[in-house]
Amino acid sequence: MPPRYTVFGHPVAHSRSPDIHRCFAEQEGVGLVYTRTLVDKDKTAFVTAVKRFFDEGGSGANVTLPFKHDAFEWVQECSERALSARSVNTLIPLANGGLRGDNTDGAGLVWDLSENLNICLNNKKILLLGAGGAACGVVSPLLERLPESITVANRTAAKARELAQRFGVEYADFGQLAQRRFDIVINATSGSVSGEVPAVPADIFSGSLLAYDMYYADTETAFMRFARENGARQCADGLGMLVGQAAESYRLWRGFSPDVRSVIEEIRRGRK
């Protein structure tokens, strides 16, 4: 029986992870099965589904919204990246039957920005929209690239403040961003899943080098369109981050480092 992997989430039907990991397996020259697992929005249901998957011989798993923090609280062991983020997106079985949690989101984002999009993060003013699991996973890797500043902004200022204080960066609610300028604006909210745009002032995009939506869709996201219409010089979705973080998960599971760019190109071409 080939090794089995899955991604747990709610929603999860839109996930391109099965396509991405099939591409990785072809590069490695192996057969594997990668599925999507829809779980009720409940921590108990999530833990039950994860236990069942690994008890039945699962070889590894990814975790997406809204379970990344639940996974962090539940796993038996965590990487330094997961501890920093307090969020887990990769589950790795341990020899003793437990699970190790890691977070590859930040590695995927920084690779996409720096290597794929050729954006230098050093001395840049970065605005990070959102304060949930997606945002938690990327602050520390962004800080490692020595930006001039990072500002975390969220509809609920208390959540932005909590995240920002953990990492020693600035925070604001959306309404406090008017007339401020940023080099890079990153959307880490879940709004793009339903086609929503964060309620931010339009002028934050004026003169920005890049507006980046962590969400990936087959067409331009509402956030990207809003940013482009309001002055962003370049807009990008999160496909590069998605493939980059997936490649890091694959390496952790299998010890094989896939070629990320070729897989991005395949997904862009609409390979099913």
CB neighbourhood size of 96 (10 A): 8
Looking at the DSSP assignment, which residues form a beta bridge with residue 38? 9
Average pLDDT, the chain: 94
Q: Average pLDDT for residues 47-71, to the nearest whole number?
A: 96
Which positions are catalytic? 68
Residue 270 scores a pLDDT above 90? no
Residue with tokens 């249901």: 45
Let me know if domain 4-104+243-268 sits in CATH 3.30.950.10: no
Length of the chain: 272
Portion of the chain with pLDDT greater than 90, in percent: 88
* Residue 226, token pair as written in the block: 């809003």
Per residue in 75-119, pLDDT tens? 999 999 999 999 999 999 999 999 999 999 999 999 999 999 999
Q: Average pLDDT for residues 1-20, to the nearest whole number?
A: 94
Per residue in 224-269, pLDDT tens? 999 999 999 999 999 999 999 999 999 999 999 999 999 999 998 8
Angle between helices 239-254 and 17-28 (to 10 degrees): 50
Residue 201 scores a pLDDT above 70? yes
Q: Average pLDDT for residues 2-10, to the nearest whole number?
A: 97
Residue 272 scores a pLDDT above 70? no
Place 219 in a pLDDT band, splitting at 50, 70 and 90.
Answer: confident
pLDDT for the residue numbered 133: 80
Q: Are 133 and 8 in contact (CB under 8 A)?
A: no
Q: Comparing C-alpha atoms, which of 178, 176, 202, 199 is closest to residue 189?
A: 199
CATH 3.40.50.10860 in the chain: give the residue spans: 4-104+243-268
Residue 212 DSSP SS3? strand
What is 118-233's CATH topology? Rossmann fold (3.40.50)
pLDDT for the residue numbered 271: 47
pLDDT for the residue numbered 192: 81
Cis amide prior to 3 (ω within 30 degrees): no
Distance (Å, rounded) from C-alpha 226 to C-alpha 205? 9
Region of residue 30 (left: phi > 0; alpha: psi -120 to 50; beta: else): beta
Max intra-chain CA distance, the chain = 58
Query: What's the whole-model pTM score?
Result: 0.92
pLDDT for the residue numbered 194: 74
